[in-house]
């Protein structure tokens, strides 16, 4: 199996499911006591959040690029950035290493397109919903992307940072998210991308009036497939 490097901690709450899901996928495919060889570099999210708020993406990119280099030196053969928002600095990370980087937007867009969906809504932090880096990459795959209105964006952003990143799941906030999804459906959305790795901890397919694409689950599965690629090719070769 190949060793995967995870850049996590943004937040801790959403990094834990990456570790669990990658290992579960490997165990399901190989059976027995198999698990994934992986390396985790977990950052102090408070430092990253401060840089986000200060609009200092250059320094944030430098921090994560250094993490990526450390993982490569430690033996990682591929990289996963366990957060949606910080894919804004994905180019800086990719430029810092010479191992594959599994981009969360490309993986998610492939799943949405495979489902035959054209019009998709995006939920995430204010940075993800309002800045161009995420939406334009989705659009490059032929998707039409919409986001909630200003008040709903404020609500989503607040819940992510004040509740979900702190491990709090509030029923009132879950209902607020369901209401937001219903309004997006009325505007023509066929499905919703959970473009923040914490949202899937609160909002499930059973709650939502629209199909959900959980970026954490999709990204973790892709990471597991990367880990298994050489093992499975050997078995079938």
Q: How far is CA 205 from the centre of its chain?
A: 17
- Give the residue-averaged pLDDT of 89-117: 98
- Give the residue-averaged pLDDT of 116-132: 98
Confirm if 143 and 120 have CB atoms less than 8 A apart: yes
Q: 3-state class of 195 per DSSP?
A: coil
Enzyme catalytic residues: 83, 196
pLDDT, tens digit, 9 for 90 and up, residues 1-43: 999 999 999 999 999 999 999 999 999 999 999 999 999 999 9
CA distance 156 to 176: 9
Task: Give the model's confidence band at 175: pLDDT under 50 very low, under 70 low, under 90 confident, else very high.
Answer: very high
| Fold of the 105-214 domain | Rossmann fold (3.40.50)
- Give the residue-averaged pLDDT of 79-92: 98
The sign of the torsion formed by the CA atoms of 90, 95, 101, 107 equals: positive
- Give the residue-averaged pLDDT of 47-70: 98
Structure tokens at 78: 């591929």
| Fold of the 4-103+217-236 domain | Rossmann fold (3.40.50)
pTM: 0.94
Q: What is the pLDDT of residue 232?
A: 57
- Domain limits, the chain: 4-103+217-236, 105-214
Distances (CA, A) of 229 to 26, 219, 233: 11, 15, 6
* pLDDT exceeds 90 at position 112: yes
Q: Do 4-103+217-236 and 105-214 share a fold?
A: yes
């Amino acid at each position: 199996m190949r060793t995967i490097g995870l850049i996590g901690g943004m937040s801790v709450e959403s990094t834990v499911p990456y570790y669990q899901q990658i290992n579960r996928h490997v165990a399901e495919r190989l059976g027995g006591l198999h698990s994934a060889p992986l390396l985790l570099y977990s950052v102090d999210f408070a430092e990253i959040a401060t840089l986000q708020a200060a609009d200092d993406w250059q320094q944030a990119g430098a921090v994560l690029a250094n993490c990526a280099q450390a993982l490569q030196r430690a033996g990682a053969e591929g990289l996963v950035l366990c957060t949606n928002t910080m894919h804004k600095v994905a180019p800086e990370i990719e430029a810092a290493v010479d191992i594959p980087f599994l981009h969360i937007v490309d993986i998610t867009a492939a799943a949405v397109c495979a489902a035959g969906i054209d019009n998709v809504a995006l939920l995430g932090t204010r940075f993800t919903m309002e800045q161009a880096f995420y939406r334009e990459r989705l659009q490059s795959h032929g998707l039409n992307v919409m986001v909630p209105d200003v008040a709903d964006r404020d609500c989503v952003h607040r819940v992510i940072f004040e509740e979900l990143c702190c491990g709090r799941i509030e029923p009132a906030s879950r209902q607020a998210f369901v209401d937001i999804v219903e309004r997006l459906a009325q505007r023509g959305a066929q499905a919703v991308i959970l473009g923040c790795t914490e949202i899937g901890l609160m909002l499930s397919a059973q709650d939502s009036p629209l199909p959900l694409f959980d970026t954490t689950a999709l990204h973790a599965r892709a990471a597991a497939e990367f880990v298994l690629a050489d093992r499975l090719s050997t078995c079938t070769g």
